[in-house]
Amino acid sequence: MKILANDGIDATGKELLEKAGFEVYTANIAQADLLTKLNDYDAILVRSATKVRKELIDASPNLKLIGRGGVGMDNIDVEYAKSKGIEVINTPAASSNSVAELVFAHLLSANRFLNKTNCEMHSLEFSRFKELKNECSKGTELFGKTIGIIGLGRIGKEVARIAIGMGMNVVAHDPFLDKAEIEIIFHNQLNISPVKVEIVTKSKEEVLAESDFISLHLPGGKGIIMGETEFAKLKKSAVLVNCARGGSVDELALNNALNSGQLAAAALDVFEKEPPEYMDILVNSKVSLSPHIGASTVEAQERIGEELASKIISFFKK
Catalytic residue check, 245: yes
Question: CA neighbours within 13 Å on the CB side: how many for 214?
Answer: 33
pTM of the model: 0.89
Distances (CA, A) of 202 to 146, 171, 208, 216, 271: 14, 7, 10, 15, 27
3-state SS assignment for residue 300: helix
- Rg (C-alpha) for the chain, rounded Å, is 21
Q: Please tell me the predicted confidence (pLDDT) of residue 252.
A: 98
What one-letter code names the amino acid at 147?
I
Q: Which of 161, 173, 217, 292 is catalytic?
A: 292
The 10s digit of each residue's pLDDT in 67-125 is 999 888 889 999 999 999 999 999 988 999 999 999 999 999 999 999 889 888 888 77
What are 261-314's pLDDT values in tens digits? 999 999 999 999 999 999 999 999 999 999 999 999 999 999 999 999 999 999
Which of 240, 256, 4, 284 lies closest to 106, judged by CA?
A: 240
Each as own residue / partner, the long-range contacts of residues 88-93 (CB below 8 Å, 24 or more positions apart, any chain) are 89/65, 89/308, 89/311, 89/312, 89/315, 91/303, 91/304, 91/307, 91/308, 92/154, 93/154, 93/303, 93/307
Beta strand 2-5 with 87-90: parallel, antiparallel or unpaired? Answer: unpaired
Q: Which of 55, 131, 141, 274 is catalytic?
A: 274
Query: Of 137, 130, 131, whose CA–CA distance to 113 is shortest?
Result: 137
Does residue 5 surpass a pLDDT of 90?
yes
Residue 126 class from Cβ within 10 Å (0-12 exposed, 13-18 middle, 19+ buried)? exposed
Question: pLDDT (tens digit, 9 = 90+) per residue, 197-231?
Answer: 899 999 999 999 999 999 999 887 778 999 999 99
Summary mean pLDDT of the chain: 94
| Cα 162 from Cα 107, distance rounded (Å) | 12
- Catalytic-labelled residue, pool 161, 173, 245, 303: 245
* pLDDT tens string 135-194: 999 999 999 999 999 999 999 999 999 999 999 999 999 999 999 998 887 666 666 667
Residue 124 falls in which region: left (phi positive, over 0), alpha (psi -120 to 50) or beta: left
Which candidate, 140, 142, 143, 145, places its Cα nearest to that of 112? 140
Please spell the DSSP secondary structure of 181-194, one letter per residue. EEEE---STT-PPP
Buried b (16+ CB within 10 A) or exposed e, 266-285: bbbbbbbeeebeeeebeebe
Crossing angle of helices 11-19 and 298-317, in 10° steps, is 20
- 187 as an active site residue: the answer is no
- Per-residue pLDDT, 185: 73
Collect all residues with Cβ–Cβ distance below 8 Å to 126 and sequence separation of at least 6: none
Residue 150 is predicted with a pLDDT of 97
CA distance to 98, 153, 246, 255, 269, per residue, from 296 (Å): 7, 19, 16, 27, 11
